[in-house]
C-alpha cells in the first residue's frame, strides 16, 4: 500500500456513510405523488412508501429484530418486498431473499445456513413452510404476508399479519448511522451442482451499484432505458439478485413502480398496458413466455424497453421482440456480482455501422459499466489480449462483488484466485471493450479436439423458422469425447429432424462461423425444455434426460 495522507477520522465533519437509507432520500423529494402499484390490488404514493418503511422498521423492532440479525422473506414480487429491501438493512439487519423456486430441501438448507432468525412468509408458501418448520434450526418468529383477508395462519411463533402489524406501528423511525461495510443482503446462488452457495453484499456495495446502474441506464445514449419519466416493472424475481438491483435505482429516482406478484402472463400484459410500463428486465425465457401468451397475440408493444440478462440473448429473440415493438438491450452479470457488470452500449463508431452490425453488438454481453474492470485470464493466471478472439475465463474487479461465499472459505478462495473474481464463463473482449460470453466453462462442448460453444450453436439453431426454443449440450461419445446434442421445441405446425437441421447449419459451416463438428448428429423434439429456478436452461437436467432417452431408445430422438 502507498503511504497516502488519509482523512482524519476524528474531524468534526459528518462522514455520510454509504447506507441504503440514503437511496430513499431523493425519490420522495422528486416525486412524492408518484405511485407504487401492486398487481390490480393496491397503489400508494412515495410519501406512503417512506411511511410504510418506517412502520415496518418499528414493527420489526417490536418483534425483536436487532442489528446483525438475519431476516428472511418468502414472497412474490411485491410492494412488501420493496419495503423489506429498505427497512431490514436500514435497521442494520441482513435481508435474506429466499429463492422460493428451489426445492424444499434446498430452501431448508439455505435458511439454516444463513441462520435466519425472522421469516416473512406469503400465505402461498405456508404449506411449504409448515413442511420444513421442525427442521429450521435458528428461526424464532414468523410474520404472515397476505393479499387477502387472512390475518392468521398456522405458522410457528407467528407475530401477526403484515398489514395489521403495519397499521398499528408508528410511521416515523429515526434510522441510525452505522458502518457502510455492514452486510445488508444475502441470497443463495442457483447453481445446479452441490449445495447452493450464499453471497452477500454490504450497504456501501449496494449504494455504489445503484449509482452505477442509474448512470448507465439513464445517461448512455445508446442505452437510455430508465429516465425519470419511465414506468418500471420487474419481471425478474426479487429473490434473484435483488431484481438486479433495479428497485433501489427506481426508488432513488422516484419512478412509478409496478410489482406484478406471481407471474401470470395475462396479468403482466394487463399491467403493462394499464399502468403504461416502459421499462422492465428479465431472462430470455420469461420474455418468450410473455410474447407467447394468448393475450399478447396481435399486441404492439411499442415503447417497451427491456434489459435481457442472465442468459445469452439470441438474434432471433432480438428480432422477434423488435418486430413486436420491443427494444431489447443485453446485459451481463451474475449472483456473485450484485449483478451488473456490463451492458451493450454502442459508441459512435458502432452506431455508424449497418443495421446488421449494430444488432451483432446489441446482443453481446456488453461493455463493462463504470467502476468495473474486466479481463480474460488463461488457466495459468496470465492475462490474454483483448482482441476479440483470445478466449479465456472472464475475471472481474468492481466495488460491489461478493467478498466470498458465506461460511465456505475453500470455495471463496477459488472464487477470488489471483485477486480477481472468477466468473466460470469463457469469454472474449474486443477492441470496442465488448465482452462476448462464449459459454459457461462447464458447458463448452469438447469434440474431437475442437471446442464448440453451446451458446453459439443455440443462436444459429434458433434462427431456423421451425424452432421456438433450443438448448444445446455435449453428450458423451466413445469416439469423439463429446458430441453436441440439440433439444428443440417447435413452432406450432412445424416439423424438424436432424437432417433438416444439418441443412440449416451447413451454410454457417461454409462461412466458417462454426466447424463441421458442431452439427449435432442427434436432436430431440420436445414440448418443453427443463429450466432452473430462475428460468434459465437447466443443462444438468437436460444431460440426464438425454442419457435416459438414449438408453430407452425414445421415439422423439432424431439421428443423422
Ligand atoms: P446467475 O448467477 O444465476 O445469475 O447466473 C450467472 C450466469 O448467467 C453467468 O455466469 C453467465 O453464464 C450467464 N449470463 C448472464 N448474463 C449473460 C449474458 N448476457 N450472456 C450470456 N450469459 C449470461
- How far, in Å, from the CA of 402 to the mean position of ligand 1? 16
- Whether residue 334 contacts residue 374, with contact meaning beta carbons closer than 8 Å, is answered with no
Which one of 311, 423, 443, 472 would you pick to mutate in the ligand 1 pocket, going by the greatest count of ligand atoms within 8 A of its CB?
Answer: 311
Which one of 287, 310, 439 would you pick to mutate in the ligand 1 pocket, going by the greatest count of ligand atoms within 8 A of its CB?
Answer: 310
- Whether residue 330 contacts residue 342, with contact meaning beta carbons closer than 8 Å, is answered with no
Q: Is 80 exceeded by the pLDDT of residue 274?
A: yes
Give the residue, by CA position, lying nearest to ligand 1 atom 1: 334
Which one of 437, 462, 535, 538 would you pick to mutate in the ligand 1 pocket, going by the greatest count of ligand atoms within 8 A of its CB?
Answer: 437
Give the pLDDT band (50/70/90) at residue 193.
Answer: low
Give the residue, by CA position, lying nearest to ligand 1 atom 8: 310
Give the pLDDT band (50/70/90) at residue 450.
Answer: confident
- How far, in Å, from the CA of 310 to the mean position of ligand 1? 4
Which of 27-41, 145-159, 542-556 shows the highest mean pLDDT? 27-41
- How far, in Å, from the CA of 15 to the mean position of ligand 1? 37
Span 478-510, pLDDT tens digits: 888 999 999 999 999 999 999 999 999 999 999
Give the residue, by CA position, lying nearest to ligand 1 atom 6: 334
What pLDDT was estimated at residue 467?
Answer: 95
With vertex at residue 434, the alpha carbon angle to CA 430 and CA 438, rounded to the nearest 5 degrees, is 80
What pLDDT was estimated at residue 261?
Answer: 98
Q: How many other C-beta atoms lie within 10 A of the C-beta of residue 229?
A: 9
Span 347-369, pLDDT tens digits: 999 999 999 999 999 999 999 99
What pLDDT was estimated at residue 217?
Answer: 95
- Whether residue 198 contacts residue 187, with contact meaning beta carbons closer than 8 Å, is answered with yes
The Cα–Cα gap between 491 and 501 comes to 14
Which DSSP letter does residue 177 get?
P
Q: Is 80 exceeded by the pLDDT of residue 190?
A: no
Q: What is the mean pLDDT of the chain?
A: 95
Q: Which of 48, 140, 451, 541 is catalytic?
A: 451
What pLDDT was estimated at residue 192?
Answer: 59
Give the residue, by CA position, lying nearest to ligand 1 atom 23: 311
Whether the ω angle into residue 339 lies within 30 degrees of 0, i.e. cis, is: yes
294 is catalytic: no
451 is catalytic: yes
The mean per-residue pLDDT over the stretch 292-300 comes to 94
Whole-number percent of the chain with pLDDT over 90: 89
Q: Which of 110, 189, 447, 532 is catalytic?
A: 189
278 is catalytic: no
Q: How many other C-beta atoms lie within 10 A of the C-beta of residue 8?
A: 8
Which DSSP letter does residue 344 get?
-
What pLDDT was estimated at residue 191?
Answer: 63
Give the pLDDT band (50/70/90) at residue 552.
Answer: confident
Give the pLDDT band (50/70/90) at residue 150.
Answer: confident
* CA 330 to ligand 1: nearest atom: 19
Span 197-217, pLDDT tens digits: 999 999 999 999 999 999 999
35 is catalytic: no
All 3 cell numbers of residue 226?
Answer: 430508465
Q: Is 70 exceeded by the pLDDT of residue 385?
A: yes
Give the pLDDT band (50/70/90) at residue 220.
Answer: confident
* CA 191 to ligand 1: nearest atom: 3
Q: Is the pTM of this model over 0.85?
A: yes
All 3 cell numbers of residue 16?
Answer: 455520510
- How far, in Å, from the CA of 389 to the mean position of ligand 1? 20
Span 85-113, pLDDT tens digits: 999 999 999 999 999 999 999 999 999 99
Q: How many other C-beta atoms lie within 10 A of the C-beta of residue 453?
A: 23
- How far, in Å, from the CA of 334 to the mean position of ligand 1? 5
Which one of 333, 394, 456 would you pick to mutate in the ligand 1 pocket, going by the greatest count of ligand atoms within 8 A of its CB?
Answer: 333
- How far, in Å, from the CA of 52 to the mean position of ligand 1? 34
The Cα–Cα gap between 407 and 510 comes to 51
The mean per-residue pLDDT over the stretch 314-325 comes to 95
Span 327-349, pLDDT tens digits: 999 999 999 999 999 999 999 99
- How far, in Å, from the CA of 368 to the mean position of ligand 1? 14
Give the pLDDT band (50/70/90) at residue 244.
Answer: very high
Q: Based on the number of CB atoms within 10 Å of its own CB, is 556 exposed (0-12), middle (13-18) or buried (19 or more)?
A: exposed
- How far, in Å, from the CA of 421 to the mean position of ligand 1? 14
Q: Which of 180, 213, 336, 458 is catalytic?
A: 336
Give the pLDDT band (50/70/90) at residue 434.
Answer: very high
- How far, in Å, from the CA of 311 to the mean position of ligand 1? 5
CA 172 centroid distance within chain = 33
Give the residue, by CA position, lying nearest to ligand 1 atom 9: 334
How far is the CA of 410 from the CAs of 209, 398, 413, 421, in angstroms? 27, 21, 5, 14
What pLDDT was estimated at residue 560?
Answer: 83
* CA 342 to ligand 1: nearest atom: 19
Give the residue, by CA position, lying nearest to ligand 1 atom 5: 334
List pocket residues of ligand 1, CB cut-off 6 Å: 189-190, 309-312, 330, 332, 334-335, 365, 423-425, 437, 440, 534
Q: How many other C-beta atoms lie within 10 A of the C-beta of residue 128?
A: 16
Q: Is 90 exceeded by the pLDDT of residue 222?
A: no
Q: Which of 446, 499, 506, 516 is catalytic?
A: 446
Which one of 425, 429, 438, 540 would you pick to mutate in the ligand 1 pocket, going by the greatest count of ligand atoms within 8 A of its CB?
Answer: 425
Amino acid at each position: 500500500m502507498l503511504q497516502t495522507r488519509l482523512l482524519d477520522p476524528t474531524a468534526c465533519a459528518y462522514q455520510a456513510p454509504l447506507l441504503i437509507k440514503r437511496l430513499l432520500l431523493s425519490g420522495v423529494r422528486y416525486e412524492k405523488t408518484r405511485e407504487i402499484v401492486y398487481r390490480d390490488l393496491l397503489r400508494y404514493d412515495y410519501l406512503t412508501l417512506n411511511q410504510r418503511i418506517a412502520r415496518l422498521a418499528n414493527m420489526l423492532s417490536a418483534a425483536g429484530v436487532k442489528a446483525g440479525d438475519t431476516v428472511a422473506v418468502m414472497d412474490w414480487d411485491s410492494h412488501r418486498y420493496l419495503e423489506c429491501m429498505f427497512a431490514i438493512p436500514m435497521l442494520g439487519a441482513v435481508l435474506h431473499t429466499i429463492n422460493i423456486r428451489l426445492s424444499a430441501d434446498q430452501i431448508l438448507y439455505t435458511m439454516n445456513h444463513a441462520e435466519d432468525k425472522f421469516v416473512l412468509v406469503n400465505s402461498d408458501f405456508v404449506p411449504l413452510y409448515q413442511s420444513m418448520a421442525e427442521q429450521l434450526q435458528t428461526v424464532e418468529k414468523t410474520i404472515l404476508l397476505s393479499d387477502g383477508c387472512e390475518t392468521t395462519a398456522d405458522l410457528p411463533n407467528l407475530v401477526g399479519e403484515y398489514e395489521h402489524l403495519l397499521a398499528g406501528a408508528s410511521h416515523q423511525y429515526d434510522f441510525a448511522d452505522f458502518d457502510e461495510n455492514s452486510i445488508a443482503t444475502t441470497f443463495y446462488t442457483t447453481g445446479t451442482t452441490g449445495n447452493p452457495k450464499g453471497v452477500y453484499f454490504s450497504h456501501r456495495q449496494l449504494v455504489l451499484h445503484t449509482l452505477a446502474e442509474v448512470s448507465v441506464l439513464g445517461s448512455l445514449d445508446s442505452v437510455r432505458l430508465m429516465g425519470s419519466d419511465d414506468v418500471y416493472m420487474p419481471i425478474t424475481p426479487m429473490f434473484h439478485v435483488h431484481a438486479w438491483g433495479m428497485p433501489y435505482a427506481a426508488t432513488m429516482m422516484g419512478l412509478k413502480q409496478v410489482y406484478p406478484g406471481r407471474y401470470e402472463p395475462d396479468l403482466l400484459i394487463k399491467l403493462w398496458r394499464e399502468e403504461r410500463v416502459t421499462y422492465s428486465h428479465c431472462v430470455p425465457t420469461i420474455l418468450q413466455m410473455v410474447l407467447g401468451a394468448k393475450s399478447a397475440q396481435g399486441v404492439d408493444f411499442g415503447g417497451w424497453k427491456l434489459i435481457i440478462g442472465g442468459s445469452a440473448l439470441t438474434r432471433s429473440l432480438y428480432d422477434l421482440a423488435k418486430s413486436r415493438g420491443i427494444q431489447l438491450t443485453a446485459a451481463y452479470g451474475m449472483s456473485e456480482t450484485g449483478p451488473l457488470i456490463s451492458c451493450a452500449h454502442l459508441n459512435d463508431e458502432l452506431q455508424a455501422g449497418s443495421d446488421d452490425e449494430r444488432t451483432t453488438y446489441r446482443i453481446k454481453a456488453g461493455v463493462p459499466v463504470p467502476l468495473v474492470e474486466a479481463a480474460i485470464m488463461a488457466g495459468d493466471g496470465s492475462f490474454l489480449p483483448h482482441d476479440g478472439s483470445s478466449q479465456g475465463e472472464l475475471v472481474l474487479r468492481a466495488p460491489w462483488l461478493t467478498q466470498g461465499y458465506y461460511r465456505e472459505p475453500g470455495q471463496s478462495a477459488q472464487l477470488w484466485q489471483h485477486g480477481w473474481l472468477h466468473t466460470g464463463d469463457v469469454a472474449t473482449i474486443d477492441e470496442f471493450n465488448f465482452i462476448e460470453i462464449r459459454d459457461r466453462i462447464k458447458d463448452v462442448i469438447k469434440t474431437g479436439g475442437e471446442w464448440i460453444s453451446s451458446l453459439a450453436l443455440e443462436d444459429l439453431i434458433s434462427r431456423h423458422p421451425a424452432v421456438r426454443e433450443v438448448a444445446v449440450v455435449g453428450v458423451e461419445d466413445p469416439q469423439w469425447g463429446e458430441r453436441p446434442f440439440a433439444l428443440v421445441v417447435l413452432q406450432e405446425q412445424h416439423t424438424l429432424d436432424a437432417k433438416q437441421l444439418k441443412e440449416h447449419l451447413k451454410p454457417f459451416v461454409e462461412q466458417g462461423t462454426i466447424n463441421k463438428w458442431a452439427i449435432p448428429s442427434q436432436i430431440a423434439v420436445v414440448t418443453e425444455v427443463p429450466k432452473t429456478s430462475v428460468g434459465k436452461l437447466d443443462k444438468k437436467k437436460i444431460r440426464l434426460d438425454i442419457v435416459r432417452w438414449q438408453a430407452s431408445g425414445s421415439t422423439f430422438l432424431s439421428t443423422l
